[in-house]
A = this chain, B = another copy of it.
Amino acid sequence: MSESNIEGDGATELTLDGEKRSRRRRRGGEAAPKKPFLAEQLPWHAATYLDDPTQPIDPDGVEAIHDASMRVLEEIGILFLNDDALKVLDVAGCDVDWDSKRVRMDRDFVMEAVSHAPSQFTITPRNPERQITVGGRHFHFGQVASAPNVMDLDRGRRVGTRRDFQDLLRLSQAYNCITMNSGYPVEPIDIHASTRHLDAHYDILTLTDKVLHAYSLGPERIEDVMEMTRIAAGLNKDEFEARPHMYTNINSSSPLKHDWPMLDGAMRAARRGQAVVISPFTLAGAMAPVTIAGAVTQQNAEGLAAIALLQHVRKGTPVVYGAFTSNVDMKTGAPAFGTPEYVRAMQMSGQMARRYGVPLRASNANASNAPDAQAMWESVFSLQGACSGHANIIYHAAGWMEGGLSASFEKFIIDCETLQQILYTNQPVPISADDLAVEAIAEVGPFGHFFGADHTQSRYRDAFYAPLLSDWRNYEAWEEAGAVWTHQRANAAWKQVLAEYEQPPIDPAIDEELCAFVDRRRAEGGAPTDF
């Protein structure tokens, strides 16, 4: 390079400051710096569904499921294994059997209560620019949550540690397509259960600045997390409680039961104005009927019962209709995801959620044990079911494996490619006269090509979705470069993303207050571990 001769060896440029010197050094012949892996990722943006939802059942079918689930609530009832919840429902006029803790509620009661749930609300984390809107056509992806194990191609499969937990949070923060945290991406088993929530949420609040989730596993945990979220956002009690800054998720213990800690956490969140996702765990053929219509009926009954409770705890509590209905393999009992049944259950759940005017939650789920072809067809079908059902928040969107038993670093990177693609697809297709390009077609004519056309040259940089992980080289070039399969590229990618990760800023005074809170609560013993 002649330029390097003119400029001289960077090492002799001693009068320049460090930054300039290192730049000159590179121009002097060293390799150019590696482009950040996420340099061309999509920007953070408020995504909305462009297409209408897919509705596999007709309005009569929606009413049939509604009616059947109302019969479940009226005739069979739901167990609320929490006396505080029973008290609320008793006062509200439900038929409460205190011995069995079974509650029957009639449809007028349920529908009146559900009518107070907002159809759309915001959740504002410590960085207000990361506020998300939940409801309508808005949609959000959260990373894998609650996996006990973690896997990557280098270290294999193992139980999760705080280091894995933190690294998965760093990936979640780095990707703009992940707009919320949906729980612990992996359980950090090396932190004692009594104080795990303190360290874990300190990590979530400092390694990310996105919306967070708190587990409903006993009063101390969710109250501690609400306090930490309040502190991190620099809010007083009233400001915190004035609108949602975080959320919790509760699962019913299907069939027909809501457990004590889940109800306790949900009611505590509701009382403080925070959002609650209610996700019955209705696997068709196991904890729910073997028919999709039956499983969705049971999901609907279990979910609406909890929504009704929460509206009587605090009118207007922001809730989300959680859909987790899938099927099991009837030969083995193993749960299956991304199946035709899952796709239809998500779309039908969307129909039910819209009937009640509440937002929908779904998941990007698969049952594969490796980040392979099965993992991807199940995941992309899951995403298709979730998005065509207009799920507003999609849990487990990146990194979920093995039906939730593992978080995979490679799958995280792979999934984010599909999430970006979905986000990109949900933009209107421009149809201006200029887009229709009749003049460009005339200019190029039958003997040219469009590479060099002005119409192309002025648009090509941003014309198309630019994938991060795809390899579109021809076979010979791909083979020459080592014939690297996608999961192997993903293996290199997550390391690069971690190396390039930048921690979001936090006010040192707030950080100090957070640490003090964690230290105090740790000294107090944290939370009981007998839940």
Contact = CB atoms under 8 A, between A and B. Distances in A.
Contact of A289 (B288, B289, B424, B437): B437
Given A377-B380, A436-B68, A286 B334 contact: no
Contacts of A255: 441, 444-446, 448-450
Interface stretch (A23-31, A260-268, A467-475): A467-475
Contact of A373 (B54, B293, B371): B371
Interface of A: 50-52, 54-57, 60-61, 64-65, 68, 71-72, 75-76, 78-79, 102, 149, 157, 255-257, 284-294, 297-298, 301, 327, 329-330, 332-336, 339-341, 343-344, 348, 367-378, 380-381, 384, 402, 405-406, 414, 417-418, 421, 424-425, 428-438, 440-442, 444-446, 448-451, 453, 455-456, 459-461, 463-465, 467, 469-475, 478-479, 483, 485-487, 490
14 contacts: A57-B431, A65-B436, A76-B445, A255-B446, A284-B464, A289-B450, A289-B456, A290-B456, A290-B460, A294-B435, A334-B472, A369-B474, A369-B478, A369-B483
B472 A287 contact: no
Contacts of A149: 475
Contacts of A297: 436-438, 441
A344 B475 contact: no
B475 A369 contact: yes
Contacts of A418: 377, 381
A450 B381 contact: no
Contact of A285 (B102, B289, B329, B451): B451
What are the 8 closest A-B residue pairs judged by CB atoms, nearest first? A294-B437, A289-B437, A376-B376, A68-B436, A340-B425, A256-B446, A373-B486, A380-B380
Given A373-B376, A405-B475, 13 more contacts: A57-B429, A64-B433, A71-B438, A72-B441, A257-B446, A289-B440, A289-B450, A297-B438, A344-B425, A369-B483, A373-B375, A373-B487, A376-B376
A52 B56 CA distance: 9
B429 A56 contact: yes
Given A255-B445, A339-B464, A475-B405, A486 B327 contact: no
B293 A374 contact: no
B384 A442 contact: no
Contacts of A442: 72, 75-76
A280 to B, nearest CB: 12
B373 A287 contact: no
Contact of A463 (B71, B291, B370, B384): B291
A455 B445 CA distance: 66
Nearest to A258: B446
Contact of A445 (B57, B256, B330, B406): B256
Contacts of A490: 373
A316 B446 CA distance: 29
A257 to B, nearest CB: 5
Given A291-B435, A421-B377, A487 B54 contact: no
Nearest to A297: B436
Contacts of A381: 380, 418, 421
Nearest to A63: B431
A374 B441 contact: no
Contacts of A376: 373, 376-377, 380
A291 B369 contact: no
A389 to B, nearest CB: 11
A206 B510 CA distance: 77
B369 A479 contact: yes
Nearest to A100: B446
B367 A472 contact: yes
A402 B474 contact: yes
B380 A460 contact: no
B373 A64 contact: no
B340 A465 contact: yes
Contacts of A339: 421, 464-465, 467
A16 to B, nearest CB: 33
Contacts of A483: 369-370
Contacts of A294: 435-437, 440-441, 455
